[in-house]
Structure 1
């Protein structure tokens, strides 16, 4: 940012300009900030936003509410935000899904019609199977796929989970069928009943099944081990060069004002440092990954370009 030296102004005029700037900066936050998710209640983004909102309100100085705008694998939520006022009153929970949906469908509004605001977390993705399945390790699953093709599952057709399974197929040289669903609930049912050999999901979404002993986690798709599961191997440590980064952040309509950006760049680190909230997100194995506005915009652009390249190379899109 360039700063220009102002000359020839009286002290009174300078003071007036400074006062006006301060007043403008105090226009935000608005009384109520709505955080929109494409997830149904109980989904990964829904849980992320509702827990964040509890602690964000006091830090931001506003009433923070969550709204579910479902349908179209995120297309409806993207369109909603793209047509909303760029005043920081309505923001969208970003995950890789909003990029995949934009690339895999011919939408009126895509991810590049929104303005990335900040990133908050990285959400570890893991490969899991039913606790009573015959697969004790990821290598067992891969060997089965070599012998009898195999069936793997992802929650949504437009998702990082789907890409991670396609990447695993390429890395292992197997031709497993990848079955997609309309949400994590359907995926879980098909893993638990044995229709699918494995599924891919986030630790926080699997917490109930893990606690109940219904699933077995075979490996993590993170580049580094998960702190809460130090004995869980990464896929890379097993010899397959597959790792993904599921980001969880926020975006708004294009043209977010500087005071909105500044307010969120101040509030998110404050919330992440809150010991009470820290206990919550660590229990869900969420990794704090604050990225400020400008860097996040560059990150999203790069992620989008790399994702499009992968989808074209694998023939998913032409």
Structure 2
């Protein structure tokens, strides 16, 4: 892979529109209800057509999207006047979760927390239900990806990992989330860029991947900050690098991969998709509600602490960005002969 400054990896390819520039290549014991807060400072919008909305994720409990949806439900509930329930539908790289939404009611009562995973799975696995059977609703964030190790790991830089992998091909195990996840695909590019060969260990979600690093099954992990927050605060893990253009605030003085000589920039979107042809009033309620949510002081404090970048998009903007992402992803697969 070329290492000039214009090479940013599959997720680093940017749409032309400035507002969309980062849309790139993220329940305990099953389903758990997220009770909406009692009357708060933020007034509710016009009455939503249903009282309870299911937010489906392919992530296992503790995974990035699981954490993300629960936080959204807590803050967005009083704004939209809705009870949000998060359900973990794992398996098949997101295909089972996508099917749950497509086969559900078309009244605004069920949505899927979307990351690049559902598009990657659709293109590589050809499941019965694909991203083309779904429609973007809104986009929320870009979520920085990190490379991390145990606090007492001998690896202090990303190049230490590269050196170890070159000295012992196949000897370094890297934990990632699902087989169709962005982290899994980025590891293919990472190995190509660095000329290394590693064992990439997939899981049902990012939370499970973190456990594999903690118990020593893997020496390195790729994850989002929200999945690592508890372990970072406990000083159980250290972040070696971020796949971002600039350093991420709130996690210490961590250099980017590019600063360490590895030209790989990744941006992982987090959004919401639903069934096609949802009622216009449902889409309008989400666009209005999420626009207000992103300015909520408590919610902003949370997402800024997690290193999340506000990348709010309306449905029309998210559709364009999704299509551009698919084009760049197909080119990535062709370049690295991923089938």
SS where residue 297 of structure 1 aligns?
helix
Larger radius of gyration: 1
Q: Distance in 2 between matches of 1:96 and 1:112?
A: 13
**Which range is displaced more, 37-46 or 174-183?**
174-183
Between the two proteins, the alignment pairs up a number of residues equal to 293
> Which has the larger helix fraction?
1
Q: What SS class does the counterpart of residue 318 from structure 2 fall into?
A: helix
Asked whether 1:103 is paired with 2:123, we answer yes
Q: For the residues of structure 2 that align with 1:151 and 1:40, how far apart are their CA atoms?
A: 21
Task: Tell me, in whole angstroms, the C-alpha distance in 2 between the residues paired with 1:95 and 1:215.
Answer: 24
Residue 193 of structure 1 and its aligned partner are, at CA, apart by 4.0
Aligned mate of 1:29, from 49, 52, 58: 49
Tell me the TM-score normalized by structure 2: 0.81
The Cα shift of 1:230 comes to 5.5
Over 3 Å counting, the alpha-carbon distance change for 1:175 and 1:30 in structure 2 is: same
Shift in CA distance, 43/105, structure 1 to aligned 2, threshold 3 Å = same
Q: Which moved more, 1:302-311 or 1:72-81?
A: 302-311
Match of 1:145 among 140, 162, 165: 165
Describe the superposition over 1:276-317 as per-residue Cα deviations: whole angstroms up to 9, x where unpaired. Answer: 222222232222210111110111122223223322332321
- Is there any run of 5+ residues in structure 2 with no aligned partner, and where? 1-44
Aligned match of 2:304 in 282, 286, 299? 282
CA distance in 2, matches of 1:86, 1:307: 29
- Structure 1 match to 2:134: 114
Decide whether the 8 Å contact of 1:29 with 1:62 is kept in 2.
Answer: no
Structure 2 match to 1:184: 206
Instruction: State the TM-score, normalized to the length of structure 1.
Output: 0.86
Pairing of 1:199-278 with structure 2 (within 5 A): 199-229=221-251, 231-278=253-300
The yes-or-no answer on 1:38 pairing with 2:86 is no
Alpha carbons of 1:69 and 1:176: their partners in 2 closer, same or farther (altered >3 Å)? Answer: closer
Counterparts of 1:10-159 in structure 2 under 5 Å? 28-149=48-169, 150-159=172-181
More off after superposition, 177-186 vs 225-234: 177-186
For CA contacts below 8 A with separation 6 or more, give which structure has more relative contact order.
Answer: 2
Residues 133 and 194, structure 1, Cα contact 8 Å, conserved in 2: no
**What is the CA RMSD across the aligned residues, in angstroms?**
1.9
Q: What does residue 3 of structure 2 align with?
A: none
**Structure 1 residues 27 and 85, CA gap change in structure 2 (3 angstroms):** farther
Relative to structure 1, is the Cα distance of residues 70 and 63 closer, same or farther in structure 2, using a 3 angstrom cutoff? Answer: same
Pick which of 195-204 and 125-134 moved more. Answer: 195-204
**8 Å CA contact retained: 1:102, 1:111:** yes
Distance 1:63 1:178, change over 3 A: closer
* SS of structure 2 residue aligned to 1:59: helix
Q: Tell me the equivalent position of 1:160.
A: 182
How far off its partner does 1:137 sit?
A: 0.8
Does the CA-based 8 Å contact 2:176-2:203 persist in structure 1?
A: yes
Aligned to 2:21: none
**Could you say if the C-alpha distance between residues 97 and 155 of structure 1 is closer, same or farther in structure 2, counting changes exceeding 3 Å?**
same
